[in-house]
Amino acid sequence: MISSVKDLYPEIKERYDLLGLPGQAYSFPGEELFLRSNSPELIDLLNAVYHGFKSGEIAGRDPITLYLLKEGDKFVTVDPGFDSFTCSVPDQVLSFWGAQLMCNHLYRSPLLFLHGSVLERDGKAYLFLGDSNAGKSTTILKLREEGFVFFSDEFAPIDLASGLIHPFPRSFLLRSDGIRLIPELSDGLAEQPFFNDYQELDRETGRPVRRFIIIPELIYQRTGKSPSPVGGIFFLKKFGSEETSANPLSAADALEKILDHSVNSRYLSIEDRDRAFTAIAAILKDSPAFSLHPGPLDEDPKFLAQTIINTVDQGHPIEPEDLDLVLKRCRELISQRGALTNCLGISISS
């Protein structure tokens, strides 16, 4: 069980030689982080998930420092200035630590995080946005041998200053059904590291879903190293029985769907919210947006890849005049309601 308690940082400063605890530096988009822990087990699990962000040292401004501590039969996560959390097993720490990091710090950075997977091709980022279980991971796993570069399996971080998409190369956290899409790994499944995801329970057993930790380099020949401009945006529907198809979206639909898939809009400052509108508008004026209906799982991946490429090549960016009208209306709603999302549905077309 995960329990929220008061900020324990003042107490652990009394109990531990904090500078003497082993540490690991991470360089996330928008934030620099240093993690200290007295549990090698926790460090190993986190390094397996966030392997793409590790660095030997962090230069420049002082990093945020978090603490993961093993105390007897429980684990404590400490983020100075925020509530601390106690957990009963290491898997709970791993499930919760990423969420705490995102909400407390990454989400407050000058980036807009969209919930989606990202691939790159010919210097342009392709965004695949969708709800949980919509097929984001499945889509990019099917495309892994079709000439794409891996950027992210979970987030599309938009730099609000440049409008570029940053790579977010966290490890794949795949269920056993996802592993089946990677035949070369299926036979060695027992050797792959995993953790029990306490944020998702199996519907039949009620137990945490087992997530296998697969580093991107085991699946993709190339992974993204630097930010890229957006080439096309696809909003995923679940895999179905018909062949893959894509349909263009209007300015209002595209903007609403992008905002609906933002995960940190409420954490942004008022200034950054306005910058987010500007960045999204610039992206939509240069990059077409579509709804994507993937075909059956056994459909030829080459057909899925060619549909995506052809759709972008033949697509047209949204008319600037239409988008400007929508953005103007959204800004009016923001000033009235003080929120970035959930204010679009009934008023965006008025």
Domains of the chain, with CATH numbers? 3-108 (no CATH), 111-171+220-337 (3.90.228.20), 176-214 (no CATH)
- Rounded-to-integer distance, Cα 218 and Cα 291, Å: 29
What is the pLDDT at residue 291?
95
Residue 188 is predicted with a pLDDT of 66
Burial of 330 (0-12, 13-18, 19+ CB in 10 A): buried
Length of the chain equals 350
Query: Which of 289, 291, 297 lies closest to 316 in space, CA to CA?
Result: 289
Count the neighbouring beta carbons within 10 Å of the beta carbon of residue 256. Answer: 19
Q: Say how far residue 344 (Cα) sits from the centre of its chain.
A: 23
- Looking at residue 335, its pLDDT comes to 63
Q: Measuring CA to CA, how many Å separate 235 from each of 130, 178, 224, 228, 258?
A: 6, 20, 22, 19, 9
Those residues of the chain that have pLDDT short of 50 are 338-350
Q: What is the pLDDT of residue 349?
A: 38
- Name which of 286, 322, 321, 292 is nearest 305 in CA terms: 292
Whole-number Å distance between alpha carbons of 231 and 64: 33
